[in-house]
Chain A
């Protein structure tokens, strides 16, 4: 079962939820894999403290240019939709950061001046955190495109009872890439106006993807908030509420696992896990899991 943990807004406690969920699942005897797909700012390792055993670069395709063979036909510049390759007077200028590696240029080049090559834009690290299989992607500084690194993390995911995916914040392409083939999406939010605004965007996103989802409210106040009212109105299940507890904030600030430092929180996370599994069983039998638009 693949559970993606996402949030419209950053800093809502997404990593806390993902890491503790993986922790309790593993403690309950399940096999667990943790995929840190927040490759721009991967933080899962700070909490799970894995021993990294393998590091490999993530490559993307890019053209290699042999200028002497160029006949100046200009076709590469025409097919490239991203202005990543610009042929001018016997010179072929390449802007690697703009290239999507689509292959168009070397396919149209009839003179053999272009061929497929690759470059590295980040790395994939794998290891083990107390029995949890740990994978993280790290985007190189200055690189603009995180989806290829995210794809590499997901492609390397091992089989496990629970695969927990820590997705990047937001609702655009890196998030989609992270959550798209999960079985369930957990949206972490906080009960503030900004939090609610970003939750609405995140909900719109998972609805476009047609994935079953539920909400976790972090830093929850004892009284009901607009977020509660909105979720009720939209019939979105609130699967857990993590209270606004200074001890939790402090444990987080030191990079500690909430469930380890404050074992009183274990039941909250195992109940969350149970509720995800339960609602998943309910949705799979009624509606088809994926209904791409």
Chain B
């Protein structure tokens, strides 16, 4: 079994449109949308949800107002500034405290040291994940609750489920839509995969971000390829990006031209390669061939999902 993860460093480079096209071209892959913070793949693949599960990425503290005697211990110990003095006073006239659920990281230090045992630490529901059917194969996706944390753990959950499905159905490829950035969700998206495809744009920001994602791929020892999307917006920088990538040991999967069909395909809820045969669809097809060949060279991934924070 192989795992291909498509990431972009900075978002908005056309990563999801490319993943949707790859899904159509691969035909029998298991799909995993690990861009849990701003998932878009479902807009094109129109999944029919078969199973939904709540996700808990951690705990959250709550102060029971009746038991709090306002000693202030929790406020003193909390490293995240999550303990706030409450406005309404309790009946006895003393001040009580409350927890800001957005700032709370669920470490439980307040609950442990509260002399009145007025603080409970409870499993928080931070989101939901789904297993769905799409016209291009099964898909695992998720929705992180608004203002929630631990997207890395949700990404790991999505990947584990995708691996389980791939094993059961004997599919040999998992296609992962990764998240932007270099932090916890991205780390969770790429660790232990067979190959990373970095989709970038010919801009100075794109070049800068490519550097950081390449370093990240090196750090986690995952081989990576690069593909310059909308290359004709700045051919000079496109070339520079590719030379840069080659020098850093990345292979070039191809270039994709700027094409308004990409947005039109989104509107039609289709992947670009389904929407049109020519234009950038030709480029995506040849990039897919290059990626496919590279994947054949990488070793299989183990069946066990790895955990990351």
Chain A interface residues toward B at CB < 8 A:
8-12, 15, 40-41, 43, 46, 61, 79, 81-82, 97-98, 100-104, 107-108, 139, 141-146, 168-174, 176, 180, 190, 192-194, 197-198, 201, 204-205, 208-209, 249-250, 252-255, 292-293
- With A98-B309, A145-B183, A170-B38: A12-B12 Cβ-Cβ less than 8 Å: yes
- With A168-B181, A204-B146, A292-B100: A82-B309 Cβ-Cβ less than 8 Å: yes
| Cβ contacts A to B, 17 pairs, < 8 Å | A8-B38, A10-B10, A10-B13, A15-B205, A41-B212, A143-B183, A144-B308, A169-B11, A169-B12, A169-B38, A170-B37, A172-B148, A190-B12, A197-B38, A208-B102, A208-B147, A253-B202
Contact B100 A104 (CB under 8 A): no
Across the interface, B107 reaches (CB within 8 A) one of A100, A172, A253, A255, namely: A100
Across the interface, A172 reaches (CB within 8 A) one of B37, B112, B309, namely: B37
Contact B109 A104 (CB under 8 A): yes
CA distance A82 to B269 in the complex (A): 40
Q: Is the interface of A mostly helix, strand, loop or mixed?
A: loop
Across the interface, A46 reaches (CB within 8 A) one of B40, B59, B204, namely: B204
Across the interface, B152 reaches (CB within 8 A) one of A103, A144, A198, A252, namely: A144
Chain B interface residues toward A at CB < 8 A:
8-13, 16, 37-38, 40, 43, 58-59, 77, 79-80, 100-102, 105-109, 112-113, 121, 144, 146-152, 179-187, 201-205, 208-209, 212, 215-216, 219-220, 233-234, 237, 263, 266-267, 269, 308-309
- With A142-B216, A205-B146: A102-B102 Cβ-Cβ less than 8 Å: no
Contact B151 A255 (CB under 8 A): no
Chain B: minimal CB distance from A22 (Å) = 16
Residues of A within 8 A of B216 (CB): 141-142
Contact B309 A252 (CB under 8 A): no
Q: Is the interface of B mostly helix, strand, loop or mixed?
A: loop
Contact A250 B152 (CB under 8 A): no
Contact A171 B147 (CB under 8 A): yes
Across the interface, A205 reaches (CB within 8 A) one of B147, B183, B187, namely: B147
Q: A11-B11, A11-B180 are in contact. List 12 more A-B contacts (CB 8 A).
A: A9-B11, A9-B12, A10-B12, A11-B201, A61-B79, A82-B309, A102-B109, A104-B108, A170-B181, A193-B43, A205-B147, A255-B204
CA distance A192 to B265 in the complex (A): 10
CA distance A156 to B155 in the complex (A): 32
Chain B: minimal CB distance from A47 (Å) = 8
Q: Which A-chain residue is minimally distant from B105 (CB atoms)?
A: A100
Contact B266 A102 (CB under 8 A): no
CA distance A255 to B206 in the complex (A): 10
Residues of A within 8 A of B146 (CB): 171, 201, 204-205, 208
Residues of A within 8 A of B106 (CB): 81
Q: Which B-chain residue is minimally distant from A207 (CB atoms)?
A: B146
What 4 A-B pairs are tightest by C-beta distance, nearest first? A11-B12, A10-B11, A102-B107, A255-B204
Contact B107 A139 (CB under 8 A): no
Which of A146, A176, A249, A253 gathers most chain B CB within 10 Å?
A253
Residues of B within 8 A of A190 (CB): 12
Chain B: minimal CB distance from A16 (Å) = 9
Residues of B within 8 A of A171 (CB): 37-38, 144, 146-147
Contact A198 B77 (CB under 8 A): no
Across the interface, B16 reaches (CB within 8 A) one of A97, A144, A180, A194, namely: A194
Residues of B within 8 A of A201 (CB): 38, 146
Q: Which A-chain residue is minimally distant from B84 (CB atoms)?
A: A292
CA distance A61 to B80 in the complex (A): 12
Q: Which A-chain residue is minimally distant from B107 (CB atoms)?
A: A102
Contact B205 A46 (CB under 8 A): yes
Q: Which A-chain residue is minimally distant from B152 (CB atoms)?
A: A144
Contact A41 B181 (CB under 8 A): yes
CA distance A170 to B183 in the complex (A): 12
Residues of A within 8 A of B10 (CB): 10-11, 41, 43
Contact B215 A141 (CB under 8 A): yes
CA distance A95 to B269 in the complex (A): 43
Residues of B within 8 A of A204 (CB): 146
CA distance A158 to B67 in the complex (A): 41
Contact B147 A172 (CB under 8 A): yes
CA distance A254 to B207 in the complex (A): 11
Contact B234 A81 (CB under 8 A): no
Contact A176 B147 (CB under 8 A): yes
Residues of B within 8 A of A82 (CB): 58, 107, 309
Contact B266 A194 (CB under 8 A): yes
Contact A102 B233 (CB under 8 A): no
CA distance A48 to B14 in the complex (A): 26
Contact B38 A9 (CB under 8 A): yes
Chain A: minimal CB distance from B139 (Å) = 16
Chain A: minimal CB distance from B70 (Å) = 19
